Amino acid sequence: MESLSPQPDETPVPKSLVESAARGDRSALREIYERTSHRVFRLMVRMVGRQEGEDLTQQAYVKAFERLGQFEGSAKFETWLYRLATNEALQHLRRERVRKTVPMETEPVTAQAESIEGDDLSQRLQLALSQLEPDLRTIISLKEDGGLSYREIAEAMRIPEGTVGSRLNRARRELAKLLGIETS
């Protein structure tokens, strides 16, 4: 999980692979992890920062693999997985808020910056994302990092599709404001 750059295999996980994994096929579990972990990790880093993101990614997979039998196949597997990962991150953020610990780290999401300016922009973006409400951060991460459609985000977050659009617009406006970008 060193690299956060897009991986070559972005194809959806077939239901047959999930069924094999649910029956205990370790190679199927490994393939699911290898196909999806970079995207789940990117989501976690956006939501909670790099340090907690690694641990929470692993926790999300433990829960997902324990619950594979509950996957019904009515939505894409990735949508179901994102819902579990999102819930894990939101629970973590709630626990941290109660404990009132040190704020989330603001490390850049890209592993290798092409330039100092790009690195600075990544850091500014990560800092701005960390200041968004968790639900807004989740929606924008699922859309921009996960590439999910409004319908898939609605399924993952269990909210109406119209709410996804309005929250995504709000998240983008708030990000632009935090980054000092004027919008028309």
Q: What is the CATH number of the domain that holds 94?
A: 1.10.1740.10
CA distance 155 to 132: 21
Cβ neighbors of 23 (< 8 A, separation 6 or more) are none
8 in a structural domain = no
Helix axes 161-179, 134-144, angle to 10 degrees: 100
Backbone angles phi and psi of 71, in degrees to 5: -70, 120
Number of domains making up the chain: 1
142 in a structural domain = yes
CA distance 126 to 83: 22
pLDDT for the residue 54: 92
- Per-residue confidence band for 166, with pLDDT thresholds at 50, 70 and 90: very high
Q: Residue 3's closest CA among 50, 47, 48?
A: 50
Q: What is the mean pLDDT of residues 31-44?
A: 93
pLDDT tens, residue by residue, 40-89: 999 998 888 888 999 999 999 999 999 998 998 888 899 999 999 999 99
Q: What percent of the chain has pLDDT over 90?
A: 39
Contact 118, 110 (CB under 8 A): yes
CA torsion sign for 24, 27, 28, 33 is: positive
184 in a structural domain = no
CA distance 150 to 8: 23
Cβ neighbors of 4 (< 8 A, separation 6 or more) are 38, 41, 42, 45, 109, 110, 111
- Per-residue confidence band for 156, with pLDDT thresholds at 50, 70 and 90: confident
Largest CA distance in the chain: 53
- As given in the structure block, the two tokens for residue 156 are 């993952």
- Per-residue confidence band for 183, with pLDDT thresholds at 50, 70 and 90: low
Which structural domain, as residue segments, surrounds residue 88? 15-179
158 in a structural domain = yes
